[in-house]
């Protein structure tokens, strides 16, 4: 309070102490024991206080912040997901829903089970427009293509986003401070890790823990000394494959500087044993090895003699037994007194010797060669970015996001894979074409076409597993049609649907454009006749708007017949409705273009040519203002 009073006296400000709240963050201190002289308003125990969006408090429940965030996130789906303007659920998810998480998760550890719940809710909302966690939803596409941005739907994978956040925080810890400045939080975190590592900690290499795995059952690590957030960061880092963390082969000096006891680096493993700590089977041998680590023997170079050679077994035992109160002595064969090797000490020595021999063979060094000058090196976590080797603390954000991505995958083929599109590059190019084409039409129309191309729509043939209870469950929804309802039948060959496509195909014959099923489901097969090739781009716009409008109309009519038992409209009525809805999409597209855009002029010209065709002539005459973009002036 004296500091605050000095500030107020100099600045002229006044502090309203009656409104100030003092927060006690030490959970080991009882609030009743604070002697403040009635000058402070201490926040009661278990009462949260929000600061910068994060809840703080004295002796709050362990998962209090996460539970509050979970409740807020799930409730937001009912608030934002039911809005009539939320025509793009994926955009709504990224901008309004997931944004609730990132500010808090950057500073709070989230249990894996809760992340799974969040991901399930996100998938339900994007794929099925479900807004409640209890709503039933059956995924319409395999997991591999749900999260892939290039080849799939690009649904945000929350666990990968969280891992990217953890890597960014770890980067900040490794980045050096500016000259003359000290970052207090870095000092606190490094002190926590030094306590956690205990005798495995090296002041010259404070980031050795990056080569270890935070195993809670380990007797070597004191993980209770670590804050839950940093334990979560460490666990996420350790879950990344070593080939991604160390992308460039380390030098000999770097390998000889790496820690050997708990390392997860494969180059310091031998056989099927794994880490050196796995060789230590007894508690006495473990204490002996930890004492050796306390003596400064952390890496292979620490075991070298003064001449830079590998030590003998006797020298190895003596150096690790030094300063060990539990060490036993014995009379050696030479008549001198020496340390007695504990049980399995010979196995530890043989294991480390094999690792050293394996390394010098890798670097083609003759056995017995002295290595007297091994320089102290930094951590080996490096990769090549734009032909330059850079350390982890300088890795760009897009590369961090790439190695943090760990969405589930399976061996299912891509929905748009075909004999002409078997390679990933060809599939990726075609998916980009699909997205570009579907964006031309209104979102609800393009969404139906996109789901059809990715085989995501729930036609009745996908309900084959219900046939034992309902034998006709796979049949067409229309009562006078008993054919099996697959995608081809539902959207093209059904006798209720096919006249609609035939009506439009007759008018488009002048341009050589087809509406057959192969072209509808393979957009890259869109073709025009030789005379119309200069207008192919403009015709593709009109054709895309028409196909998307028709497919949406067919699907809504299908659902009305299935769930509301409504009959489809007569062919003539459906054709007229299709013509009007198509032109509504055209008017929308025209409003989005510049008035002097050459493509806009070409589209209008091609549309007028279509209006002169026999199939469209009567409807174009019936609705002469169908292309008027502005409403008539009120009189």
Instruction: Record the tokens describing residue 8, joined without a space.
Output: 């107020």
Nearest-angstrom CA–CA distance, 123 and 101: 16
pLDDT value of residue 558? 97
How many other CB atoms are found less than 10 A from the CB of residue 159? 20
pLDDT value of residue 332? 67
How far the first Cα of the chain sits from its last, in Å, is 73
- In angstroms and rounded to an integer, the radius of gyration of the C-alpha atoms of the chain is 35
pLDDT value of residue 80? 79
Q: What is the pLDDT of residues 547-563, one digit of tens each?
A: 999 999 999 999 999 99
Instruction: Record the tokens describing residue 333, joined without a space.
Output: 């064969």
pLDDT value of residue 87? 52
pLDDT value of residue 83? 64
pLDDT value of residue 106? 92
**With contact defined as beta carbons under 8 Å apart, do 322 and 350 qualify?**
no
Instruction: Record the tokens describing residue 528, joined without a space.
Output: 């025009």
Nearest-angstrom CA–CA distance, 315 and 311: 6
Q: What is the pLDDT of residues 291-331, one digit of tens each?
A: 889 999 999 999 999 999 999 988 898 888 888 777 777 76
- For the residues 347-360, what does the mean pLDDT come to? 93
Q: What is the pLDDT of residues 521-531, one digit of tens each?
A: 999 999 999 99
pTM of the model: 0.85
pLDDT value of residue 49? 86
Query: Considering the chain, what is the average pLDDT of its residues?
Result: 90
pLDDT value of residue 635? 45
Instruction: Give the Å distances, CA to CA, from 300 to 112, 249, 260, 376, 625.
Output: 37, 18, 7, 12, 85
Q: Does the structure show a pLDDT above 70 at 85?
A: no
Which residue would you say has higher pLDDT here, 3 or 418?
Answer: 418
Portion of the chain with pLDDT greater than 90, in percent: 64
How many other CB atoms are found less than 10 A from the CB of residue 337? 9
């Amino acid at each position: 309070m004296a500091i605050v009073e000095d500030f107020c006296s100099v600045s002229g400000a006044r502090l309203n102490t009656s409104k100030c709240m003092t927060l006690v963050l030490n959970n080991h201190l009882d609030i009743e024991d604070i002697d403040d002289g009635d000058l402070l308003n201490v926040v009661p125990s278990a009462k949260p206080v929000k600061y910068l969006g994060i809840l703080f408090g004295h002796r709050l429940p362990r998962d209090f912040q996460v539970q509050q965030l979970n409740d807020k996130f799930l409730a937001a789906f009912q608030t934002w997901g039911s809005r009539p303007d939320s025509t793009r659920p994926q955009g709504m998810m990224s901008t309004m829903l997931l944004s609730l998480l990132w500010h808090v998760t950057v500073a709070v550890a989230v249990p894996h089970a809760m992340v799974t719940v969040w991901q399930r809710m996100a998938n339900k909302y994007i794929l099925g427009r479900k807004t409640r966690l209890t709503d039933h939803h059956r995924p319409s596409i395999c997991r591999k293509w749900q999260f892939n941005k290039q080849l799939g739907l690009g649904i945000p994978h929350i666990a990968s986003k969280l891992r990217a956040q953890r890597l960014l925080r770890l980067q900040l810890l490794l980045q050096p401070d500016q000259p003359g400045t000290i970052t207090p939080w870095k000092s606190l975190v490094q002190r926590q890790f030094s306590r956690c590592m205990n005798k495995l900690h090296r002041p010259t290499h404070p980031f050795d823990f990056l080569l270890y795995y935070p195993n809670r059952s380990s007797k070597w690590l004191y993980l209770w000394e670590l804050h839950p957030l940093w334990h979560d960061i460490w666990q996420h880092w350790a879950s990344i494959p070593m080939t991604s963390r160390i992308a460039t082969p380390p030098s000999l000096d770097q390998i000889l500087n790496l820690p050997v006891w708990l390392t997860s680096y494969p180059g310091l493993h031998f056989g099927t044993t794994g880490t050196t700590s796995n060789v230590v089977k007894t508690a006495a041998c473990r204490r002996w090895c930890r004492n050796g680590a306390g003596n400064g023997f952390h890496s292979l170079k620490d075991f070298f003699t003064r001449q830079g050679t590998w030590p003998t077994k006797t020298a190895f035992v003596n150096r690790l037994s030094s300063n060990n109160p539990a060490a036993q002595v014995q009379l050696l064969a030479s008549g001198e007194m020496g340390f007695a090797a504990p049980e399995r000490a010979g196995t530890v020595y043989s294991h480390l010797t094999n690792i050293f021999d394996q390394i010098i063979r890798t670097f083609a060094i003759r056995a017995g060669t002295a290595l007297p000058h091994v320089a102290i090196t930094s951590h080996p976590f490096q990769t090549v970015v734009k032909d330059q080797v850079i350390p982890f603390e300088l890795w760009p954000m897009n590369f961090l996001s790439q190695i943090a991505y760990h969405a589930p995958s399976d061996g299912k083929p891509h929905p748009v894979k075909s004999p002409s599109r078997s390679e990933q590059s060809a599939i990726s190019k075609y998916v980009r074409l699909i997205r570009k084409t579907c964006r031309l039409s209104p979102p609800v129309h393009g969404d139906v076409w996109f789901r059809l191309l990715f085989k995501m729509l729930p036609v009745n043939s996908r309900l084959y597993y219900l046939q034992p209870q309902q034998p006709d469950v796979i049949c067409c929804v229309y009562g006078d049609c008993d054919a099996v309802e697959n995608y081809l039948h539902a959207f093209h060959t059904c006798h209720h649907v096919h006249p609609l496509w035939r009506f439009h195909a007759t008018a488009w014959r002048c341009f050589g454009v087809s509406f057959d099923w192969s072209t509808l489901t393979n957009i890259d097969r869109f073709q025009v006749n030789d005379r119309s090739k200069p207008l192919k781009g403009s015709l593709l716009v009109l054709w895309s708007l028409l196909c998307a409008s028709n497919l949406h109309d067919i699907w809504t009519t299908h659902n009305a017949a299935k769930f509301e038992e409504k009959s489809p409209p007569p062919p003539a009525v459906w054709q007229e409705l299709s013509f009007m809805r198509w032109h509504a999409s055209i008017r929308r597209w025209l409003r989005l273009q510049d008035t002097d855009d050459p493509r806009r002029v070409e589209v209008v010209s091609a549309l007028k040519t279509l209006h002169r065709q026999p199939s469209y002539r009567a409807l174009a005459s019936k609705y002469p203002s169908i292309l008027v973009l502005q409403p008539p002036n009120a009189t």
